[in-house]
């Protein structure tokens, strides 16, 4: 597979064309940002770790009937993917209150939610990814009501699989963000699933094992990411 021109550079990844128009290469960087770019830094080897974690999780989801953009892991930092027309909706699913849920609605951090909460955010850095409902998304033309219903049910199904997967590895899946895209008439899960896009707490100690360590300068960022990798890949 020949790596072609760079199509896009985001905060944590670059995307390259290939000689097949249906396929792209996603390359994971070590750059880290938080609070919509207001905090910037690097996390050593994050790209390698997040690629490995994402490939493993997408493979697990595919094995359980969830269609994703993953074709194969190409190298330490590169994932071969189906080319998606990304839907400009970030789908956040929450099992435990943290982050913006605490700030916006006053939940105590750590409150276990009886039913998972699924939220939609507009994927637009200039507007700071505002929270939106289905009517906003449809009015903005980013998705149809049918697509949004599908995103919600897909997120709920993924949550069930991920929650169990992480519980088996002694981690609580607090919340996570998904992105989806259109590919030949189908909606596939895209982007990544990693400590950059999820919150994980250790099952026993509740220690944070995700990007919150970077956001709030808690220290031990690299160690937390590699510990998640160790557990996800069942390394010992």
Q: Which residues bind ligand UDP (CB under 6 A)?
A: 90, 92, 98-101, 129, 175-177, 197-199, 211
Nearer to ligand UDP, 11 or 182 (CB): 11
Nearer to ligand UDP, 16 or 176 (CB): 176
Nearer to ligand UDP, 14 or 123 (CB): 123
CA–CA distance, 33 with 166 (Å, rounded to integer): 25
At closest approach, how far in Å is the CB of 30 from ligand UDP? 17
At closest approach, how far in Å is the CB of 197 from ligand UDP? 4
Structure tokens at 39: 């905090």
At closest approach, how far in Å is the CB of 33 from ligand UDP? 9
Nearer to ligand UDP, 2 or 38 (CB): 38
Beta pairing class for 112-122 and 78-82: unpaired
At closest approach, how far in Å is the CB of 100 from ligand UDP? 3
Under 8 Å CB-to-CB from 222, ≥6 apart: which residues? 43, 44, 45, 46
Instruction: Give the residues across from 72 on adjacent strands.
Output: 80
At closest approach, how far in Å is the CB of 179 from ligand UDP? 9
* Consecutive H or E run containing 186: strand 186-189
CA–CA distance, 35 with 149 (Å, rounded to integer): 28
CA–CA distance, 167 with 217 (Å, rounded to integer): 26
Nearer to ligand UDP, 20 or 124 (CB): 124
Nearer to ligand UDP, 1 or 167 (CB): 167
DSSP codes, 33-95 = EETTTTEEEE-TTHHHHHHHHHHHHHHHHHHTT--BSEEEE-SSSEEEEE--EE-SEEEEEEE
At closest approach, how far in Å is the CB of 176 from ligand UDP? 5
């Amino acid at each position: 597979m020949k790596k072609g021109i760079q199509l896009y550079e985001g905060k944590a990844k670059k995307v390259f064309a290939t000689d097949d128009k249906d396929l792209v290469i996603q390359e994971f960087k070590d750059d880290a940002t938080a609070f919509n770019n207001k905090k910037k830094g690097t996390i050593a080897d994050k790209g390698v770790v997040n690629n490995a974690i994402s490939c493993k999780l997408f493979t697990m989801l595919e094995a359980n009937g969830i269609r994703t953009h993953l074709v194969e892991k190409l190298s330490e930092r590169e994932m071969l993917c189906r080319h998606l027309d990304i839907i400009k909706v970030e789908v956040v699913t929450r099992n435990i209150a943290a982050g913006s849920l605490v700030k916006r609605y006053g939940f105590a951090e750590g409150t276990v939610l009886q039913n998972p909460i699924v939220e939609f955010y507009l994927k637009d850095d200039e507007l700071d990814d505002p929270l939106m409902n289905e009517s906003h998304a449809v009015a903005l033309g980013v998705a149809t009501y049918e697509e949004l219903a599908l995103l919600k049910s897909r997120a709920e199904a993924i949550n069930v699989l991920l929650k169990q997967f992480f519980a088996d590895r002694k981690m609580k899946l607090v919340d996570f963000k998904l992105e989806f895209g259109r590919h030949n008439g189908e909606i596939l899960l895209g982007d990544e699933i990693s400590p950059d896009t999820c919150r994980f707490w250790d099952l026993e100690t509740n220690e944070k094992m995700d990007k919150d360590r970077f956001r709030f300068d808690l220290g031990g960022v690299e160690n937390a990411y590699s510990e998640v990798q160790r557990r996800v890949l069942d390394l010992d």
